Amino acid sequence: MSEETNKKEHGGKHLEKLTIKELREIAAEIPHERAIIDMKKEELVAFIKEARGIKDETPAKKKKHIVTIKMTKPELKTRIRELKILKGQALESNDNKKVVVLRHQISQLKKKSRHIAAA
């Protein structure tokens, strides 16, 4: 319920999605001991939640770190050749979606090979 009232008061936005200026305006209404201007965004959100008694049910989502597999330049080149063959087959069978996906994969691998060559 507190989340719903929070959304209504601030145009349907969660506290995490508000700007620092908006958070400072909200925090200015709450009696405080520490200077609001010195607080960072995370501190302001925590301060407002604590003052309003809002419990953190779902923490802010963090991006997952994608593990990339290191490939050598010759391995990349062979993979590009394989994908080009598959792309040619997809063109013959008029599978446009597959062609687009393969073209994107080839492009990404070419960028990686250029990056490896430059290093």
pLDDT tier at 4 (50, 70, 90 boundaries)?
very low
Whether residue 65 lies inside any domain: the answer is: no
Whether residue 66 lies inside any domain: the answer is: no
Domain residues for the domain of 7 are 2-52
The answer to whether residues 6 and 41 belong to one domain is: yes
pLDDT tier at 3 (50, 70, 90 boundaries)?
very low
At 59 the pLDDT is 59
At 109 the pLDDT is 92
The answer to whether residues 9 and 45 belong to one domain is: yes
Whether residue 58 lies inside any domain: the answer is: no
Whether residue 57 lies inside any domain: the answer is: no
Residue 21 sits at φ, ψ, to 5 deg, of -60, -45
pLDDT digits (tens, 9 = 90+) for 19-41: 888 888 888 888 877 778 888 88
Angle formed by the axes of helices 96-118 and 73-92, nearest 10°: 160
Q: Mean pLDDT for the chain? A: 81
CA dihedral over 10, 13, 18, 24, signed as positive or negative? positive
pLDDT tier at 13 (50, 70, 90 boundaries)?
low
How many domains is the chain partitioned into structurally?
A: 2
Residues 65-87 have a mean pLDDT of 87
pLDDT digits (tens, 9 = 90+) for 34-67: 778 888 888 888 888 888 887 766 656 667 777 6
At 67 the pLDDT is 66
pTM across the whole model: 0.43
Whether residue 60 lies inside any domain: the answer is: no
The answer to whether residues 45 and 85 belong to one domain is: no
Whether residue 35 lies inside any domain: the answer is: yes
The answer to whether residues 8 and 37 belong to one domain is: yes
